[in-house]
Amino acid sequence: MLLEKYITYGIVLLVCVVIIAIYLRKLKKASQEVEAKIEKAKEEGLFEPVSLHPVINLNTCIKSGGCITACPEQDILGIVNGKATLINASHCVGHGACFHSCPVEAITLVIGTEKRGVDLPHVNQNFETNIPGIYIAGELGGMGLIKNSVEQGQAAVENIVKSGFRKNPATYDLVIIGAGPAGISASLTAKKHNLNFITLEQDTLGGTVFTFPRSKIVMTAPMDLPLHGKVKLFNTSKSDLLDLWQTVLAKNNIQIRENTKVEGVLLENGSFKVMTLKGEEFKAQNVLLAIGRRGSPRKLNIPGETLEKVAYRLLEPENITEKNVVVVGGGDSAVEAAISLSEQNNVVLSYRKEHFSRVKPQNKENLRVAIETGKLDVKYKTNLVKIETDKAILTHEEGGSQFALENDLVYIFAGGELPTSFLEKAGVQISKRFGYTMKKHG
């Protein structure tokens, strides 16, 4: 009887030991996989964060994995030896879902790192810059998230109203630049206070989140939209969010001036002159910069660049078929766009250099395969010099001889102009921040 009991205990113990051993092996394997991903991210230059990113307090982290499941991007965070760690940190878009999901508040959102500084403008608690009358709201000030940008857009305009600025019938009370979440919320607040205002957007309304292919949007808490009320869209889609923006703006009779890029803001005789790329000028008593941190795509400034067939981002390659396409550029965006378009189209990739030195190893490999299988035609050391309705004219770097390609669509990926120079031109003070804490629990 006693022996039987010991045997049973022994078996139970053995089963427990086996289960624990399997569990520990699984954990070790998972850690090794994450370590390998970190090594790869380091090789590919993706380990170092570029902007806002989570910093994990390893003394507090309890390996719940909440941050990993909450992050909608891929492989930004992982667990090594029981503690959360960064992997492809440069892919972090700073929306802070990890920050909100951590049950023990072990995550802080930080901008810049010890090695890589990030330019941030100076704003006071009213969102006003060193230039009285110029305000900043949203991600440009450093803090990401749709909800935060909405809150800041509203708060900045409330502060403008409270500032008791002098109205001038010959000028706008306020020019809002940018129609992302911050600019939209600011426009609604300006309407609420009967301000004489205009909102200028270089592209179409919606902001950064609409320029990326992912359709899912995550909001970790309800947001309060001026003139509308609480919005409880937690896991939503881009189209639902866009519908919401459009409905609320239309209901309140607010028109956003789209396709209007602002080139500069100048203080002149006590009011601001806001100048657009199209050569228009708007005078205002206050200016709100809600332009985000992504900047504007760099233009080539060549004839025909304003034709409708020219674009600076690729949103739905699967819907583009049987077209003659020219893609310009030598970075990852250009290479990825050219490869994805080459599945269903006749694509020429034009690059001014003789090889692609700046692209990720995986893109280099995909490019090699696409060229070898004849899917993609790369014209090295060429420049796009003119765009016509049905043609693209290129020149060879050497000798300058010209050639024309049948053409339906042009995609230009020539980098971006960061908002830093825009701010500097307007006189707004900026500092480089190395690991600056933007949000801490508690």
Report the greatest alpha carbon distance in the chain.
102
In total, the chain counts a number of residues equal to: 442
Contact 127, 280 (CB under 8 A): no
Closest CA to 392 of 403, 376, 381, 379: 403
- Smallest distance from ligand FAD to CB 373, Å: 30
Closest to ligand FAD by CB, 152 or 350: 152
Closest to ligand FAD by CB, 285 or 296: 296
Closest CA to 127 of 163, 102, 90: 163
Contact 38, 84 (CB under 8 A): no
- Smallest distance from ligand FAD to CB 91, Å: 9
Closest to ligand FAD by CB, 294 or 396: 294
Contact 207, 292 (CB under 8 A): yes
Q: 161: number of CA atoms within 13 Å, CB side?
A: 17
C-alpha 147/C-alpha 153 separation (Å) is: 10
What is the amino acid identity at position 40? K
Closest to ligand FAD by CB, 202 or 342: 202
- Smallest distance from ligand FAD to CB 270, Å: 23
Q: 429: number of CA atoms within 13 Å, CB side?
A: 9
Closest to ligand FAD by CB, 308 or 398: 308
Closest to ligand FAD by CB, 80 or 423: 423
- Smallest distance from ligand FAD to CB 254, Å: 15
Binding residues (CB under 6 A) for ligand FAD: these are 72, 93, 95, 138-140, 144-147, 149, 177-183, 200-203, 207-209, 212, 214, 217-219, 261-262, 290-292, 294, 296
* Token duo for residue 418: 């960061």
- Smallest distance from ligand FAD to CB 182, Å: 3
Q: Which residue has the tokens 């990926």?
A: 413
Query: What phi and psi values does residue 398 have, to the nearest 5 degrees?
Result: -90, 125
Quote the distance between the C-alpha of residue 146 and its chain's center. 11
- Smallest distance from ligand FAD to CB 168, Å: 23
- Smallest distance from ligand FAD to CB 187, Å: 11
Closest to ligand FAD by CB, 269 or 306: 306
